[in-house]
Structure 1
Amino acid sequence: MQDATLSVGDSIEGRCTKCRKNTAHIIVTLVEENPGKVQCTVCNREHKYRPPTAARKPAARRTVDPKEAERQEWQALQPTMNPAKATDYSMDATYKVNALINHPKFGLGVVQRVVGPQKVEVLFEDGRKMMRCQ
């Protein structure tokens, strides 16, 4: 595992549990030629040896803005919609996923999900809206 033989007092890099980063450590005890306990040279905390962690890749950035994704989703659903089968929106009605509704202000919409007992998320041409329902 190691190239050179380790001994108590040697310096080794490891993950510090207090600093929460890779730092230099001094070996305090050995267990079968491997570091057992180490002491961080930054915070002086003594803890079980943990090997250094690899650097994480930066999170991938979104290339498509959410509004544009909603517009694309709307355009994909539009050919399957039949406006004649849409029900007029009412706060007193109950809705199921994929139900077509006709809102007086936002126009034709598709229920995307039922959020709770009194809310649904509807995709309109303008974007997603949270609507109250029964």
Structure 2
Amino acid sequence: MSKPLRAGGEVDSWCTKCKLVLNHRIIAMVGSQPARVECSTCGSHHNFRARAPGDKAPSAGSSRAGSSSSSSPRSTRAPTKTKIQQAAADRERTWEKAISGKGVRDFRQYRVSEIFNEGDLVKHSKFGEGVVTRILDQRKVEILFKDEPRTLAQGLTD
């Protein structure tokens, strides 16, 4: 049996900066659950996340075949917002998969004078870490960042 969680204690959490599940110190609790944590590796503060984004929580048998038991009726119309959120989540998963396990030295600093290839890892001063997904032409490249893909310049000389 594990010790009960408390502020000042330790817990494994997904670090949003290190991009790994690592040991964290609990800063704040809400009820019996950690709310804010501090990474023991990089020192960043963020909300508690029990697992990596995209990882499914263990479910207790969720079969939908003929189940009209205690669940509320579902709307027949899927709201557009859900589709947009799903697309954003898919992009974020693709981004996380591309950079998972990569070290700081694997990223090249973005500069408009640089030439990039598909799959290159890029560190942008404003947008953060990204991966080159497409070469649009010799002067433009599409880079997928955590929040969204962006078209940036490449190969420009002063």
State which structure, 1 or 2, has the greater radius of gyration over its C-alpha atoms: 1
TM-score (norm: length of structure 2): 0.42
TM-score (norm: length of structure 1): 0.49
